[in-house]
A and B are shown apart, each in its own frame.
Chain A
Amino acid sequence: MIKHILTIVIYLLVAQPALQAQSAQESVEQKAQIELGRHLFYDADLSINGTMSCATCHEQRRSFADGNQAHPGALDDQGKRNVPGLANIGQFKNLTWAHNRLSGLAEQSLMPMRGTDPVEMGMNGHEDEISKRLSQNGCYQKLFLLAFPKEKGSIHIGTVSKALESFQKTFVSNDSLYDQTMKKGTSLPTKNAQRGKKLFFGAAQCNTCHTAPLFSDDDFHLVQPRVQNTEQKTTDHGLSDVTGNPKDKNVFRTPSLRNAALTSPYWHDGSAKTLIEAIQKHDLKINQTLTHQDIAELVAFIDTLSDMTFVNNPKYAKPSKECPY
């Protein structure tokens, strides 16, 4: 018995500082990965001709969405889908408009870099070029070494995508007017927003899919006609393009409504110019009962989900040109 107690005491005395040191080292690495990810997010050398960075489409002032219906790629290929916002993106299991098989943001970041349907950043088959370009930059050499010491600072698309994931996981948006009133237990400032909130969580049933607090259930739904008319013919079939299951045709992930007022246009194809149009586009029975006034009130409520501290947070902004280390 005494022997066991002595073993535990020795363990606590010896192992605990070692664990703490390990944890501190991991923290340094994590911090460096976030800083590195931030630099990479704003670096157009991740695209084939140096014309596009992640931030070209994901603009902080628009909650990391884009003001275009769909953004053309680096080689001018037409965009396929509207650029989704990235608020709280680290809290979602499913990523992009219609994918349920991505392991995380690191794998997701390969889609714009290497994707071919459509070509966005155009690096498919040119991954070594990323390594070559970044390796010429002394600051990146230091950042990669700090962020990935076990890999001896190796610069390749794997470490690039891991750093991008670390940075995007820091995108937390929870300080909107709605959040502030919820914390204080007070009402929203306008009657329209108050009525909109009541409708949102009540009769209009928006909260069923746009579930608080993320204002998305992180799930896939069919909210538009399965069979479209000839003018609306599309090659984008949503989740079924990934799963191959006909039941998933035209099924898309519920977008978060946080900061939605800043992310126009809307819908997976950017076909709704305003929030009013986006609400009206839902082909649901409940929609037929909504009046113009109801919709205006819902929009007033959605406006209160805008978080200006998020879109102005200097932690997410383009980093200084000076090397941080």
Chain B
Amino acid sequence: MKSVLVVLFLLTGVFANEALLPTELTAWKSLSFVSAAKSANELSNASLVLNNTSLVGLHPTPKIQYVTRPTNEGGTVSYGGLFQITLKEGGLYRVVLANASWIDLIKDGKPAQSVAHAQGSENSGIRKMVDYNLDKGTYTLQLSAGADTKSALLVTKLK
């Protein structure tokens, strides 16, 4: 119940001024809550669903054991966490975030190289969008160096 209230409260803030979004981003507006894992052992409880936006709860950086050392490690006062997502097919994917956390997508111990970065349109609630060409499989999505205890997070397929 508490989680539902938190989601509703945040929805009113995030989408206070609604913006028009392109069709591939419509899933941005249907949030579910996922608490980030603090280590690889907890990943099964931190699964993301493709094309579903999640409100994610993040942890203080000193409490997190990342699978792979993040490219941009946050300081002791920052927040982050781990998630997992399974992609059934390869293609161009976009990770969309409401805050500016650093994103690493890892498969078989190797981080994927991003191919494009952008910010969201005004009042969209989107702070950051990063695109990756990904193979099918299960990925660990790491957020690091975040300023907040929460964010909205979406993984969507572009092509």
Contacts and interface: CB of A to CB of B under 8 A. Distances in A.
Interface residues of A, number: 22
A54 to B, nearest CB: 11
A76 interface: yes
Interface string A31-61: 0000000000011111101111101100000
B100 A50 contact: no
Interface of A: 42-47, 49-53, 55-56, 67-68, 72, 74-76, 133, 136, 321
Interface string B65-85: 000010011111110000000
Interface of B: 61, 69, 72-78, 100, 117, 127, 145-147
B69 A133 contact: no
A136 B76 CA distance: 10
14 contacts: A44-B72, A44-B73, A44-B74, A45-B75, A46-B75, A49-B77, A49-B78, A50-B74, A50-B145, A51-B147, A53-B72, A53-B73, A68-B117, A75-B147
A47 B146 CA distance: 12
A133 B77 contact: yes
Contacts of B72: 44, 53, 55-56
A47 B75 contact: yes
Contacts of A47: 75
Contacts of B147: 49-51, 74-75
Contacts of A75: 147
Contacts of A133: 75-77
A136 B100 CA distance: 26
Given A56-B145, A67-B117, A74-B147, A50 B78 contact: yes
A161 to B, nearest CB: 17
B118 to A, nearest CB: 11
A292 B151 CA distance: 47
B74 A51 contact: yes
Contacts of A67: 117
Given A44-B75, A51-B100, 4 more contacts: A50-B76, A51-B75, A51-B78, A321-B69
Contacts of B69: 321
- 3 residue pairs, one from A and one from B, having the closest CB atoms: A50-B75, A50-B78, A45-B75
Contacts of A74: 147
A272 to B, nearest CB: 18
A45 B76 contact: yes
A51 B73 contact: no
Task: Among B75, B77, B100, find the residue whose CB has the most chain A CB atoms closer than 10 A.
Answer: B75
B73 A72 contact: no
A47 B110 CA distance: 28
